[in-house]
Structure formats: structure tokens, C-alpha cells
Amino acid sequence: MKEIYQAIKNFITYRFSLHGDSAEEAEIFSSIKKNVEFKGANLWTLIFAIFIASIGLNVNSTAVIIGAMLVSPLMGPIMGLGLGIGINDFELVKKGARNLTIATVISIATSSLYFWITPLHDASSEILARTSPSIWDVFIAGLGGLAGIIAVTRKEKSNVIPGVAIATALMPPLCTAGFGIATGNLYFFLGAIYLYFINSVFICLGTYLIVRYMKFHKKQFEDKAYEKKVRRYILIITLVTVAPSIYLAFRIVDRSIFESNAKSFIQNELTFHDTQVISKNFKYSRKGNEIDLLLLGRELDAGRLDSIKKKLPLYKLEDTKLIVRQGLDAKNEIDISQIKASILESVYQGDSIKTANTTKMDLDLPDLKQELRTLYPQLVSYSMDNIIVKRLDADIQDTITLAVVNFKEPMSARERERLRLWLKSRTKADSLKLLTD
């Protein structure tokens, strides 16, 4: 038994030890410290990288954004902070914090300048993706920080650092913050800055953990009370950073589960030969979730609707309210659902929508609720679905994506066309028709 334990221990030590090919401490310290300060070449490289990343976000090009992250020198001061905390070198901590602040301010100013002068002011999906951080960003930043400092401590440098720069994505949030300033969107600015803060804190934390694991020599403090106070501040900053991201991640996961269950419920319980679900809208809220459906075809009687509603708990939708709209005279007042039904009936003449096999052509469309809410605060509601259109003069049928939107105030023709092109791009639709009330 003792031999087995020793064999396992030897295997783990041999395979997982970080000391075997580690560089000398002095060499590691020198490598990190020289990248902490932002001046000269480092500063110009940062500015050019910010411009590249801003252009990539502006034109929605992932390849360009990755290229900007590869040349970004932002990791230097963050790792300097982690190293300084790990070895009690608070002069290095102050130097790292000072240079990180300078780099952050210059980066935001540069991106703000770009987005102020660019003729393209629409928020791309790449920009919107950097406005809602979650716990997954914490994991990525922490793991990226661990991988990055391990690479720095090796005798032979590898291609890990560029990969870490891409994974932790420090540049895009800063550029998104600049976009928020240039467009006056506080939500974009705060969300992007929080994501940048998460990345910075957890890259720093990953660096600290590896420095302590490798037992780098600490500087001795005469004032132990001060040392303890500094460590307490570090713990508080870490907890404050993690807590909101955990909440946001829970909301994202919970909403995804709700929408998945709702789609299963609709597909299994609301598929009929002579009644078609032509619009579905899912509302996720702390006050209570809702499934809002618009039906076209033969109306379902009250008894059948009650029977369907009783099946909601089978799909873990116990606290979900089911709203079913059907028929043009379902209400006395005219609302967006009636307008949609009226337009659909007049345009497609009742027979233009495929009923029996709709679920086969009902391709998944992205949930654009949050993006539309951010881009168009005046938007009241929207719905999208793939529709089969049959030609009456020939045996031909086409599939188009139909989007119906309801705004508080009428849109100009130019704004409608911009919205249509954006929706077509986001849904990757071959053909998209936009209807407004």
C-alpha cells in the first residue's frame, strides 16, 4: 500500500510540478516588471491596438478584434500587481496600479475618440456581448490569469500569453466603454467597465496564486497590522467583484432554462392541424414569467385552453402565465397582436402559411430582446418567425423571416430600413420582411 501511495505521489509530482522548468526568480521578476510601465513603445502599441479593436467592434469583425488582443500590452501591469501582492512588494503594487489606471484612461479616451468620429454608430453584436458580464467571465479571467503567469515563469517562453490575451479579452470591454461614452449610453459604459474590472481582478488573483504556490521569496513587513489590512482589502475587492457576476450568471441560466421549457411546451402542446402559432414571445421577469402566443386558424375553445394551461407544470412552468391571442375580435381594443393577424391574413390569404409541418421549418431564431431593448428604448414589443409563403400562380413556396415591431412613436423610413438590415444580419435570414404598426 505504501509503495502504491508513493508511486501515485511520484507520478503527480512529475506530471504537475511547476518547479522543474521554472526560470530563476530574478529573471521572472525582471520579465514582469519591464512590462508594467506604460511609456514609449508600450504606450503607442496600446493606442494602436485600441484603434484596431474599436474598428473590429464597429464593423463586427471577430478576426480584427482577436488581432487587436494579440498586440495588446495590457497584461503587464495586471501581472505586476499580482506579483507585488504575492511577494509583499507594495512599491510594485503601487506602480502596477498607477500604470494600469493610466493605460485604462488612455484606452477609453482613444476608443471614445474613434467612436465619436466614425460614421458607423450602430451597436454591433460584438459590442453588445461586452455589456452583460456573468460568472463565466470570472472563470475565464481566473483561468487565463493562471495560464498566463505559468507561461511567464517558464525558462522557454511559449505561445500561451497570446492565447491568454485572447481568452481574457481585456481590450474589447475598454473599447465598448469608449463606445458608451461616445454615444452617451451609460448602460454600455458601466457593463463594459465591470467586465474589464472582472478580468483585471482575476488575472491579478491568478498571478498571486501561482506566485504563492511557487513559494517566491517575500519581502518582510515590519508593520504586520498594515500587511493584514492590505490583505483584507484584497479579499473584499475579490468578493465585491464576484458577487454581482454570480447573480447575473444565475439569471442568464434561469432564463435559458425557462425559454427552452417554453419552446418544448409550445411544440408538444400547441401543434394542431388547423391552428397555427404564428408568434411567440417569452417574458422573463422576477415578478413572474409569461408566454405570449398569437394563434391563426380555427379558434381554440375555453375548455381546450384550460386543459393546455394545466400542462404547464409538466414543463416546469408552474409560475408562468400563458396568454393566448386568437381571432381579430378577441379584444375590443386594437393592439399589436390584432394588427399582426390582420396583416398576415390580408397578405397571405389564409392559405399562405404552412400548418401541418411548421415545426420542421421553424428554424431557431436568436433572442434579441435585450439587444433591441438597448438599441431601441422606445420599442414596446416585437415578434419574429419563419413563414412559408405559397405562390398562387405557380407551384412554388418560399420561406421568409417576418418581424413585426411596435414602437411608442412612429419610425422614419430610414430608421425602419436600418432596423430591417440589422435584424436580417443578426438572424442570418436570406429574406426578412419588417412590419410596423
DSSP string, 347-375: HHTTTTS--TTHHHH-------HHHHHHH
Three-class HEC string of 80-145? HHHHHHHCCCHHHHHHHHHHHHHHHHHHHHHHHHHHHHCCCCCCCHHHHCCCCCCHHHHHHHHHHH
pLDDT over threshold 60, residue 136: yes
pLDDT for position 327: 64
Reading phi first (left if > 0) and then psi (alpha if -120 to 50, else beta), residue 217 is in: beta
Residue of 188 and 155 predicted with greater confidence: 188
Residue of 400 and 394 predicted with greater confidence: 400
Rounded CA-CA distance 345/260 in Å is: 29
pLDDT over threshold 60, residue 137: yes
Domains and CATH numbers, the chain: 2-220 (1.20.1080), 261-436 (no CATH)
Cα–chain center distance at 72: 21
Reduced to 3 states (helix: H, G, I; strand: E, B; else coil), residue 291 is strand
Rounded CA-CA distance 384/433 in Å is: 10
**pTM (predicted TM-score):** 0.60
Measured in degrees and rounded to the nearest 5, phi and psi for residue 227 equal -60, -45
Rounded CA-CA distance 427/420 in Å is: 11
* Of residues 167, 138, 142, the one with CA closest to residue 69: 167
What single-letter DSSP state applies at residue 156?
Answer: S
Lowest mean pLDDT among 57-71, 185-199, 355-369, 423-437: 355-369
Give the Å distances, CA to CA, from 227 to 13, 55, 85, 87: 32, 44, 10, 11
pLDDT over threshold 80, residue 197: yes
* Of residues 368, 341, 360, 376, the one with CA closest to residue 424: 368
8 A C-beta contact, residue 151 and residue 164: yes
pLDDT digits (tens, 9 = 90+) for 212-261: 888 888 777 666 777 777 777 777 876 776 677 677 667 777 887 888 89
Give the Å distances, CA to CA, from 4 to 1, 10, 294: 5, 10, 67
CA distance from start to end of the chain: 78
Q: What is the mean pLDDT of the chain?
A: 79
